[in-house]
A and B are shown apart, each in its own frame.
Chain A
Amino acid sequence: MPARGAVMAELRYLRAVNQALDDAMAADPSVVLFGEDVGEAGGSFGVTRGLRDRYGPGRVRDTPISEATIAGAAVGAALSGLKPVIEIMFMDFTTLVMDAMVNQAAKAHFMFGGQGSVPMVLRTPHGGGLGAGPQHSQCLEAWFAHVPGLKVVCPADPVSAYGLLRAAIDDPDPVIVVENKALYAMKVEAPERLEAIPIGKASIVRPGRDVSIVAYGAAVKTARDAAERLASDGVEAEVIDLRSLQPWDEAAVLASLSGTHRLVIVHEAVEAFGVGGEIAARMADIGFDELDGPIVRVGAPFMPVPFSRALESAYQPSVERVVAAVRRTLE
């Protein structure tokens, strides 16, 4: 509750992304935006609204529907002095940017022996819950996190949406910023200052002693809700918002596991071969002697994202599933 009747400003996720772009463009004239409908229309989700008017059609460019070239051009532009921020309208469409991201952006710094780098950002929304169906809902971040040379962040709230995007734009390497469609409307009390949040650092959003729940993106909220539910049964879960997936904050997860000895990993992406699998494998290795129960993942089942609300709500990780997973670690 705001003190003394003051009206607290609120910050929405969508607005935070817009603000980060705005501030970055104001701070550095080499930052340019391009993508489908990011200019005149202000973005399919409204993320880039107002920026074309402020920075002109040269720095905020509408592109045709040419994802491979949008991403490939970002690589070339980044190698030639710009800091491009491109938008791929839905993460599902990143299938079409794979060569540019995987073979070009990710490798240039390494395969050119350290000459130059590719300071580009690819922003794209993932996630379901909106009935968008199998080709407009996928969470494909693990693909990118698998590629050496790429960085991947996934903000779970407006403050990190701002902070991680600023850090991504400042970063000399290619960064995939995965936003979540369902979070665009999320709002929080605006903090006094918005600032960059370092890539690779997790945040403990709820301390606890009994079990560590690691999550990212929209799953952070699910994990928090599960923690509240568990607290009423006397189980204190520590919830960690990973924030960055590549690099991810191994030290923070290990430190938490060393306190709780139990680990649950939650994400909206398909569970099999995912980010959770990587975290589990690393903790089973470096955190082996800390474990007092199985590491349990909660992710989507091995199936495409379904359309019907009845199907999709069963598909997405739920508070109940997280609670059940925590209980398994406590057996």
Chain B
Amino acid sequence: MAASAIVMPKLGLTMTEGLLASWRVAPGDRVRNGDVLFVVETEKIATEIEAQGDGRIETIEVAAGATVPVGAVVATWSGGGAAAAVPEATPEAAPVASQPRSSGGERIVATPLARRLARDAGVPLATLVGGGPRGRIRARDVEAAIAARAAAPATSDAPAAGDRRAATGMEKTVARRMAQAKQTIPHFYVLAEADVTELLKLRDDLNAMEGLTRISINHLVMAAVGRAIVRMPEINVVWDEDAVVQLAGSDVGMAVDSGRGLFAPVVRDAGGRSLDALARDVDALVARARTGQLSGDDLAGGAIAVSNVGMHGASHLVPIINPGQSAILGVAAIKPVFRPDANAQPTLCREIGLVLACDHRVHNGVAAARFLDCVTGILQHPLSLLRG
């Protein structure tokens, strides 16, 4: 059977190119329908691309680590039908020729000097995060790690003993993106407690109505953040390579632990939609995340996300901003507390701990505090949420 092309799929409306993060197959491998062929990273997501039939991989045309345009041939195979998720192949697109061709597979990108420094200092490169292009580890990254180690309390240099297993491509992607975000985004935090007594009541009232979408605290928090954005659009900005980008609308991202890795799908217009519509969207996105069906578009956009660990009892969550966004709200568990009322008498309240992590390149403390106050206010007086 003649070999046919496997191309870089278009994983979302706006996607023009994708980083081929890793290969799961090699030339000669037999694959079955649904087997993961390779992992593509776009701005927001790592997506596993599956075979669309049975066949055999003939050649790998694009090495892991290369960024190629949508429609570029990344491999050839002899097999049934078109390969992978292949909408709109653009035949003229070719792999970016100037990318190095390696045998595929994961490799650590580091400069020769960084490798030498790391070797001399006994720092495993795998424990480092590169700040250079393509996550390249440079001398300064190694030096920073050496300095950090020197500053750290005396513990063994060696990573903890225990069972080791190689990280999956997805895990490595998440690890790299998180480390990069934490290292390159100057985070600052504002904290607040919101009294959610009223909010819980509202939720219970809404859920008492049969046959409608069940509303969760999470839905309500998403809606509150969306509405706060509508009130303070100046908060809906992101930093992009020496530019400040003002986003339109009131999209809100949310952290979802899919069981296959961490994703941050984005709910559209969270500030303008009815609670029911919003809740349905949120639930659909979570379902898609769990089944690995998120598209690039699901992950695009939004300046602010919500990460809710309330169901797990923590009092506060101090989150890391998703790359490409500028803030994230950590939402923790609801706790009963006594607060003084107007007469200084203790009253039982139900409070939720909120931590808003912000990118200091685009936000300052005052704006952040005002925004958090806005969210808190909405949560404490939740009837406004019912206005679409």
Contacts and interface: CB of A to CB of B under 8 A. Distances in A.
A178 B236 CA distance: 60
A292 B109 CA distance: 12
Nearest to B119: A289
Contacts of B138: 292-293
In the A-B complex, the 6 residue pairs with the closest CB atoms: A292-B113, A289-B116, A292-B139, A291-B112, A292-B111, A288-B112
A289 B115 contact: yes
Contacts of A261: 113, 139
A291 B133 contact: no
A331 B133 CA distance: 7
Interface of A is mostly: loop
Interface string A246-270: 0000000000000001000000000
Interface string B126-139: 00000011000011
Nearest to B132: A331
Contacts of A225: none
A290 interface: yes
A282 to B, nearest CB: 14
Interface footprint category on A: under 10
Contacts, number: 24
A293 B130 CA distance: 12
B114 interface: yes
Nearest to B141: A292
Of A289, A292, A331, most buried by chain B (CB within 10 Å of CB) is A292
Interface footprint category on B: 10 to 19
B19 to A, nearest CB: 17
B214 to A, nearest CB: 49
B273 to A, nearest CB: 42
Interface string A286-300: 001111110000000
A261 B117 CA distance: 12
Interface string A304-331: 0000000000000000000000000001
A288 B113 CA distance: 8
Interface of A: 261, 288-293, 331
Contacts of B115: 289
A290 B113 contact: yes
Contacts of A288: 112
21 contacts: A261-B113, A261-B139, A288-B112, A289-B112, A289-B113, A289-B115, A290-B112, A290-B113, A291-B111, A291-B112, A291-B113, A292-B111, A292-B113, A292-B114, A292-B139, A292-B140, A293-B111, A293-B132, A293-B138, A331-B132, A331-B133
Interface in B133-157: 133, 138-140
B112 to A, nearest CB: 5
Interface in B85-140: 111-116, 132-133, 138-140
Nearest to A290: B113
Contacts of A290: 112-113
B279 to A, nearest CB: 44
Given A292-B139, A292-B140, A331-B132, 12 more contacts: A261-B113, A261-B139, A288-B112, A289-B112, A289-B113, A289-B115, A291-B111, A291-B113, A292-B114, A292-B138, A293-B111, A293-B138
Of B112, B114, B116, most buried by chain A (CB within 10 Å of CB) is B112
Contacts of B140: 292
A209 to B, nearest CB: 13
Of B113, B114, B140, most buried by chain A (CB within 10 Å of CB) is B113
Contacts of B116: 289
Nearest to B140: A292
A290 B115 CA distance: 10
B79 to A, nearest CB: 38
A235 to B, nearest CB: 14
Contacts of B113: 261, 289-292
A270 B364 CA distance: 50
Contacts of A293: 111, 132, 138
Of A261, A289, A290, A331, most buried by chain B (CB within 10 Å of CB) is A289
A290 B116 CA distance: 8
A291 B114 CA distance: 8
Contacts of B111: 291-293
A223 to B, nearest CB: 22
Nearest to B137: A292
Contacts of A289: 112-113, 115-116
Contacts of A291: 111-113
A289 B142 CA distance: 14
